[in-house]
Structure 1
Amino acid sequence: MVRIHPSILSADFVNLERDLGKIASADGVHVDVMDAHFVPNLTFGLPMVERIAEVTELPIDVHLMIDDPDTWAPQYAIDRVDSVTFHAEATRDAVSLARELRARGTRAAIALKPGTLVDAVIEHLPEFDMVLVMTVEPGFGGQAFMPDMLPKVEALRTKAEELGIELALQVDGGITADTLPIAAASGADVFVAGSAVYGHASPAERIATLRDAGRGAFDTGRIDLSAIHRGTAGKGLGADADDAAGSLDR
């Protein structure tokens, strides 16, 4: 299944309720919380998430790019928040935090920066409902999709299948109709897209285009997983990739 989670960082904050309505056909809404410490940018916090929950029917996918998620993440496990993602690099005890989030009724997810190996989570994989593999450095703009991150996705998908567990694998950073099929071919099934959705006249049409790109990942004849391992897949993927790289969290 291909699930599209548009990032509201590319929406118009002054008209956020309107822009949430434009993505009603999506599978969820991705909400990036940044604290200007764990990453250099500052966005918003729990009051904004609570307000979003009041005005959208979409499942809310909260991505916490913050220090001390062990203290703060459980506060985001509110009604209509489907999942809370915290970073492996920031938590003191990922397993305990994941268990607390699940106990509060939300799905527990853990994120990996590009420099973090899958070893940080793979031995405890059943404790998580989703793993987010960042395909850019979080919190920085002007970056391109990093296809050399996708062997992480492959390793996580392989391990999940070996264990017989249901695990969502999310990718975030430079996702477009060109890069999404490469990520899907590696085992990802949840895709965060910012300007690739909101940067076009019809966000609903772009969501449909991204879904179609994922469904056709193995039919295009241009997915070369060996190139992914060499870090050369996805180079020169067109204007959409450049557009996506320019959003705040890309």
Structure 2
Amino acid sequence: MFIEDLDRQRWSFREARQHVARLILRQIELAGTPPSGAQGAAPQWYRSGDPVQQAQEIAMRELLIALKDGDLHATGRLSKQRRERYASGSSSWDFHSGHQEAILPHQWREGRFGFQENLELRDGEFIDIRVPRFAVKAIWLDLPPSPGGTEPAYTTPYLELMQAAIGAFQMSDRAQAKKENLVAWFLEQEIDGEPVSENLANAMATLIRLPSSQRGGSRRIG
């Protein structure tokens, strides 16, 4: 590979997690179990049978391990200016840099990764965390073709998300989830790092339900 051919696209942490989670979910669907070494640490929601959330949690754990061990390198926008919020008693950080800078492995080990995908340190905070796409794909390879040598069936992130919803709600021809619950679930998901729009959520919720369910012909579940 020549340097000018290098894939310089950088993924957000969320995009990287979605990529890893999709691979894990596919492995769970093919094998019926999480990847080797992950099952023993499966929390309560896995035992209740939510493969989508299981895949997301395993993906988060694997990414953080790779970052802490230095196998994957990330950058972020740093702030060292603390802002006190006297009303709530909490604190946050202001004036984050406009430039990306490297996050070192020891900072991942010592810091606290938050729900907003920020890394808070004792003396600062990284936001807008990015990882090289080529590095993520080099560590978490796409699944190989089936043993017969045939290519896997064609799919798209939209189809995969709809299949995930069917599994999450345990839908069948005798048990149809309520459309409003499906829409709410879809709105919490992302496709290729982008939030699902309300129009798309409504469309997907309609497509995975039976036509008869629109007329009240099937038993509804949560």
Q: TM-score, normalised by structure 2?
A: 0.24
Q: Higher Cα Rg: structure 1 or 2? A: 2
Instruction: State the TM-score, normalizing by the size of structure 1.
Output: 0.22
